[in-house]
Structure 1
Amino acid sequence: MSIDLEALYIDLHRHPELSFQETRTAGVITRELSALGLEFVEGLGKTGVATSIVNGDGPIVWLRADMDALPVAEQTGLDYASTARGTDPAGTDVPVMHACGHDMHVTALLGALEKLLATRDAWSGTVVAVFQPAEEYGAGSQAMIADGVLDAFPRPDIVLGQHLTPLPAGTIGVRPGTQMAASDGVTVTLHGRGGHGSRPHATIDPIVMAAATVMRLQTVVSREVDPREMAVVTVGSIHAGLKNNIIPAEATLELSLRYPDEPARTDVLTRVERVIRAEAAASGAEQPPTIRVDHSLPPTINDAAATARLTAAFDRAFGDGTVIDPGMFTGSEDVSWFARAADVPLVFWFWGGLDPQQYADAVARGTVNEDIPTNHSPFFAPILHPTIERGVDALVVAAKEFLA
Structure 2
Amino acid sequence: MENFARKARYARHKLFYAVVYQVFFLSLLMGCKSKPPILVGFSGELTNSRSGGGVFCRNGIELAVEELNRNNGIHGRLIQLVTKDDQNRPEIARQVDAELAAQGVVAIIGHVTSAQTAATFAQNNQARMVVVNPVSASAEFSQQQDYFFRVVPGNDLLSRALARYIIQQRHIRTITGIYDIGNRTFSETFWKLFQQEFERLGGSARKELIFVAGRTDFQQFATQIQTTAPDALLVMASPVDTAFLLQYLAKQGVRVPTFSSTWAQTEQLIEKGGNAVEGLEMVSVYHPSNPYPAFQPFIKRFMERFKREPTFHAAYGYEAMLVLAEALKHTQGQTSGLPDALSSIRNFPGVQGLISMNAYGDVSRDVYIVRVSNGQFEIVATIPPEN
| TM-score where L is the length of structure 1 | 0.28
Instruction: Write 1 or 2 for the structure with the bigger share of helix.
Output: 2
Greater relative contact order (CA < 8 Å, ≥ 6 in sequence)? 1
Task: Kindly name which structure, 1 or 2, has the bigger radius of gyration based on alpha carbons.
Answer: 2
| TM-score where L is the length of structure 2 | 0.29
